[in-house]
Structure 1
């Protein structure tokens, strides 16, 4: 299972453009994020740090490894591409129009098409064979539980705001019409997370094909949240440290589950000779 060249080049282009944009965002923070609220600017800077230090280099490395036939790299790449689509949709739709607008739109488009192409290139039967059609109820339950947990947390804010007839509380903190995280999570990412869990529980081939990427997405999404308080403190803003413990625990548990899952894929597919992994 090798990543076709078009999706390799799109992934590399997205990683390169994202890294370059993050450098500019960190070097010229006031120029790029000067019109945002302190919280939104700190969040964007934290995202730039994670993009530059981890997401962009890892996405490029995984894309190259996937093009050379690594099944595990291919599946992990899906999660980082989804993470990039998720965050650059927020950049493009929620931050003020400015010098990096075309960069954000470019990364969003490149990552989205790379994600679609990379998903279509997955050899579902081979991935299912790597897992030997094992039942993985705890991993499946973890995906569903995370989806339900975050859905409940978001609804605990949304419903009271709607009933009271007031603007979204969290959107007001960012001074945007609605919280883009709520929109993306409730419309796309949390349902996809739950669906992967249900399919995995039913031993459906697409459950096996998507579970690794979903875990990578969860862990990656935790990282900017963990970095935000450090950025806020460094920039002289009020830092909210209470979020560190629950998100840190979620990230750690996700990485453990992901590590155990990747170990299950260490052998060659059933009935096939050993190949790059």
Structure 2
């Protein structure tokens, strides 16, 4: 398992970098294409570029995600991977966070992005990201996590409350349009040409329950809570640049926003991102940056002296 983890994160980082670079370079070059959805509504597709068959709104958002993956996600995986290879408990824990973030991104891509020539690459990243994430979870130093749980410098209560609040906010944000659609016998906003809201499904089925579970475990000072919390914190922190850049690219593509629609998400997720970054930093500082040194047994020490 350790040998695989010494190689697999490098593969994930390389493929993710290639995929993100392709998305950034292969941008729409023409006018949007208007279509009628199977539900009888009108929508505008990007019409060209890698995301030609995605809506203008989604294509701009995908471009923002590609930029954040290339600027932050891939370097984070590589940095944590190199630290992990040196035996750093902090690097191993951070690696779970970085791989968890890429797993979340490419689960959305493989399941939600309109089919394009990189579909098999998305599937590859989903498979390798999941394998790497599970292996990283299994190789994280449990003794280091127990030390974190017992460290008074870690803001345990604040971390627990933040995770529980993040779970609640995620549930409310995604349930509101879904429940409204049910009440009006319609479809959720921005569903457009898509058959199902994949991000809503992943966030409600996986992210929100995981955040709630991590919050409850951290409240009990259970070491597992800090392990589950790390990929959630990394993802929350990287939401801030993603949403800010998405909004800018969508506005440049002609999507109209009201002032509250622009300020609200950026301010809201910006606040979560800042708080999440502080909590993630405090958590990682409590984990040793270098591998522990095994003490030399007395018998081994005497044997060494006898050979001098």
Instruction: Give the alignment of 1:42-57 within 5 angstroms.
Output: 42-57=60-75
Aligned to 2:268: 246
Please report how far the alpha carbon of residue 24 of structure 1 lies from its aligned counterpart in structure 2 after TM superposition. Answer: 1.0
- CA offsets 1:146-198 (integer angstroms, 9 cap, x no match): 101111121122112112211122323xx312211110011111101110111
Aligned to 1:9: 7
**Does 2:73 match 1:60?**
no
Please report how far the alpha carbon of residue 268 of structure 1 lies from its aligned counterpart in structure 2 after TM superposition. Answer: 7.9
Q: Does the 8 A contact of 2:88 with 2:289 survive in 1?
A: no
Instruction: Give the alignment of 1:209-248 within 5 angstroms.
Output: 209-238=227-256, 241-242=262-263, 243-248=265-270
Aligned residues: 269
Please report how far the alpha carbon of residue 241 of structure 1 lies from its aligned counterpart in structure 2 after TM superposition. Answer: 2.2
The worse-fitting range, judged by mean Cα deviation, of 23-32 and 217-226 is 217-226
Residue 191 of structure 2: SS of its match in structure 1?
A: helix
**Does 2:161 match 1:163?**
no
RMSD (CA atoms)? 2.3
Please report how far the alpha carbon of residue 237 of structure 1 lies from its aligned counterpart in structure 2 after TM superposition. Answer: 4.2
The worse-fitting range, judged by mean Cα deviation, of 44-53 and 22-31 is 22-31
Structure 2 unmatched runs, 5+: 29-48, 296-308
The worse-fitting range, judged by mean Cα deviation, of 4-13 and 197-206 is 4-13
- TM-score of the superposed pair, with normalisation by structure 2: 0.80
Structure 1 unmatched runs, 5+: none
Aligned to 1:191: 209
Task: Give the alignment partner of residue 58 of structure 2, picking from 12, 25, 40.
Answer: 40
**Does 2:127 match 1:109?**
yes
Aligned to 1:28: 26
For 1:157 and 1:166, the matched residues in 2 are separated by 10
Q: Which has the higher helix share?
A: 1
Q: Does the 8 A contact of 1:11 with 1:60 survive in 2?
A: yes
Please report how far the alpha carbon of residue 253 of structure 1 lies from its aligned counterpart in structure 2 after TM superposition. Answer: 1.2
In structure 2, relative to structure 1, the CA distance for the partners of 1:213 and 1:72 (3 Å cut) is farther
Residue 72 of structure 1: SS of its match in structure 2?
A: helix
Please report how far the alpha carbon of residue 110 of structure 1 lies from its aligned counterpart in structure 2 after TM superposition. Answer: 0.9
- TM-score of the superposed pair, with normalisation by structure 1: 0.89
In structure 2, relative to structure 1, the CA distance for the partners of 1:274 and 1:241 (3 Å cut) is farther
For 1:274 and 1:218, the matched residues in 2 are separated by 36
Please report how far the alpha carbon of residue 267 of structure 1 lies from its aligned counterpart in structure 2 after TM superposition. Answer: 8.0
In structure 2, relative to structure 1, the CA distance for the partners of 1:16 and 1:185 (3 Å cut) is same
Q: Does the 8 A contact of 2:147 with 2:287 survive in 1?
A: no
For 1:228 and 1:86, the matched residues in 2 are separated by 17
Residue 96 of structure 1: SS of its match in structure 2?
A: coil
For 2:68 and 2:123, the matched residues in 1 are separated by 19
